[in-house]
Amino acid sequence: MRDVEDHLPSGRPRSTASLVRARVEAGGERFWHHADFAGLPPQAVALALSRLTQEGVLTRARKGLYYRPRPTVLGLSVPAASAVAAQAVAAPLHPAGLTAGAMLGFTTQNPSTLEFATSATDPPRVPVNAHFYVRRPDTRRDLDAEEGALLEFLRDRGSTSDLSPDETVRRLVRLLNDRDRFERLAEAALEEPPRVRAILGALGEELGMGEALLAPLRASLNPLSRFDFGALRGLRFADRWQAK
Q: Is pTM beyond 0.75 here?
A: no
Q: What is the pLDDT of residue 126?
A: 61
**DSSP-based three-state secondary structure for 32:** strand
CA atoms within 13 A on the CB side of 65: 16
How confident is the model at residue 92, as a pLDDT?
A: 80
Going from the first residue of the chain to its last (244 residues), give the mean pLDDT of each consecutive group of 10, the final group possibly shorter: 48 77 88 85 91 89 81 70 61 86 91 85 71 91 93 97 95 96 97 97 96 96 97 96 96
- The beta strands (E) that lie in the chain are given as 30-33, 59-62, 65-68, 71-72, 75-76, 93-95, 114-118, 130-133
Question: What pLDDT was estimated at residue 2?
Answer: 43
Angstrom distance (rounded) from CA 183 to CA 179: 6
CA 180/CA 49 separation, integer angstroms: 42
- Spatial CA neighbour of 230 closest among 145, 126, 157: 157
Q: What is the pLDDT of residue 9?
A: 52
Confidence (pLDDT) at 8: 47
**Residue 96: closest CA among 72, 114, 108:** 114
> What domains are there in the chain, each with its CATH number?
16-79 (1.10.10.10), 82-241 (no CATH)
